[in-house]
Amino acid sequence: MASDKELSDFLKSVEKRAFKRTVYAVRGDDAALDIVQDAMIRLSTKYADRPAAELPLLFQRILSNATMDWFRRQKVRNAVVQNLSDFEAGDDHESFDLLETVQALEDTLGTESAFDAVSRSEILHAIDAAVGALPARQREAFLLRYWEEFDVAETAAVMGCSEGSVKTHCSRAVFALAAALRAKGITP
Amino acid sequence: MSTTPPYHDTEALQARLALRLTAGLSERAASLPRDVSERLRVGREQAIARARHSRVAVPMLALAGSARTLPEGLVPWWQRMAAVLPLLVLVVGLLAINQWTEREQVLAAAEIDTVLLADDLPPAAYTDPGFAEFLKMAQP
């Protein structure tokens, strides 16, 4: 059973990412705050007796369900279930595009010597906007897999899809983000 | 010369780029507006308070309702004893009251008998109508 401190530390570690994830989905700070708070309360009232190690997966599931509940209440569920083909890129990406984007990001964000506060802030804003513009399922897979650091199986469990779908969503999301950043001039 | 890396390198590049991007997201998320951070803190504290409350409430409910809700084999013996104990106390109390009342009645009867037998007047005199009339006339 997770103690109060373990529960508090876990929520503290995850609340900002949860908020951002929810903002991407619902496009509003107030609604996102309500959903995150609702998810935290659901976790603490129904699953407070679970071990601390189970909390991350449980919380992400609860957060996803709470977000879906919000969409149901808003009667705009169709906005979430978008036709992925509208946004999907083909499978014929040139991999060196990725390498160039990685190098550009590492040059700008990864080294203190090349630090430029203005351009750094602009790049962070561009990343934020690009993630926000991803199709919902791609964004969810990308954020769970790489931001929450879940493995493929855990991400699939939270999203309720196959592991193959998770890999596809993640791959397409990364290529879409690289393309979006290149379009904004973030190149070496 | 082609720069296209093999497939496994593409996966590694994807992961590398994804980690750089999420590092950027983390950096941006760390500088949320103060009011948002405060609302998240309040929400977290409310959730912890609810968790504390539910941890206290669940054992109390379990004690009160475990005999009804749990299968027989899962109820600990001391909980079954705890459920039966008030009934046992009630039965023992009623038996004790009954015993005490009977004893009081026996003692009262014995005292009356003792007084009657120890008196100079024989008990049969109290059933004699003439003696009863004498007692009435003797009263002022």
pTM score: 0.62
Task: Taking residues B52-76, report their average pLDDT.
Answer: 60
Q: What is the DSSP secondary-structure string of B24-83?
A: HHHHHHHT--HHHHHHHHHHHHHHHHHHHHHHHHHHHHHHHHHHHHS-GGGS-HHHHHHH
Neighbours of A184 (CB within 10 A): 15
User: Which A residues in the span 85-104 are in contact with B, Cβ-Cβ below 8 Å?
Assistant: 94-96, 98-99, 101-102
Per-residue pLDDT of B11-30, as tens digits, reads 888 888 899 899 989 988 88
- Ranges A37-51, A92-106, A131-145, B68-82, most confident: A131-145
Q: CB B4 to CB A12 under 8 A?
A: no
Q: CB A174 to CB B52 under 8 A?
A: no
Q: CB B55 to CB A48 under 8 A?
A: yes
Burial profile B105-135: b = 16 or more Cβ within 10 angstroms, e = fewer: eeeeeeeeeeeeeeeeeeeeeeeeeeeeeee
What tokens does A82 get?
A: 């978008």
Predicted local confidence at residue A115, as pLDDT? 46
Is a pLDDT exceeding 80 seen at residue A187?
no
From B1's Cα to the closest Cα of chain A, the distance in A is 13
Predicted local confidence at residue A140, as pLDDT? 93
Between B36 and A49, the higher pLDDT residue: B36
Task: Taking residues A62-88, report their average pLDDT.
Answer: 69
Q: Report yes or no: A72 at the B interface, CB cutoff 8 Å.
A: no
Residues 6+ apart with CB under 8 A from A16: B29, B30, B32, B37, B40
Q: CB B4 to CB A94 under 8 A?
A: yes
Residues 6+ apart with CB under 8 A from B26: A17, A147
Closest residue of chain A to B7, computed from CA coordinates: A95
Q: Which residue among B10, B39, B51 sits closest to A7, beta carbon to beta carbon? A: B51
What tokens does B62 get?
A: 């379990």
User: In the Cβ-directed half-sphere of A182, how many Cα atoms lie within 13 Å?
Assistant: 16
d(CA A150, CA A87): 24
Per-residue pLDDT band for B67 (boundaries 50, 70, 90) equals very low
Task: Taking residues A76-104, report their average pLDDT.
Answer: 55
SS (H, E, C) chain A: CCCHHHHHHHHHHHHHHHHHHHHHHHCCHHHHHHHHHHHHHHHHHHCCCCCHHHHHHHHHHHHHHHHHHHHHHHCCHHHCCCCHHHCCCCCCCCHHHHHHHHHHHHHHHCCCCCCCHHHHHHHHHHHHHHHHHCCHHHHHHHHHHHHCCCCHHHHHHHHCCCHHHHHHHHHHHHHHHHHHHHHCCCCC
Average pLDDT, chain B: 81
Closest residue of chain A to B9, computed from CA coordinates: A95
What tokens does B12 get?
A: 């590694």
Q: Which residue among A8, A15, A102 sits closest to B20, beta carbon to beta carbon? A: A102
| Closest residue by Cα to residue A125 from A78, A45, A186, A58 | A186
Calculate the CA dihedral of residues A115, A118, A123, A125 and round it to 10 degrees: 140
ipTM value: 0.75
Q: CB A41 to CB B50 under 8 A?
A: yes
Residues 6+ apart with CB under 8 A from A132: A23, A24, A139
Q: CB A16 to CB B29 under 8 A?
A: yes
Question: Residue A163 burial (CB < 10 Å; 0-12/13-18/19+)?
Answer: middle
d(CA A159, CA A154): 9
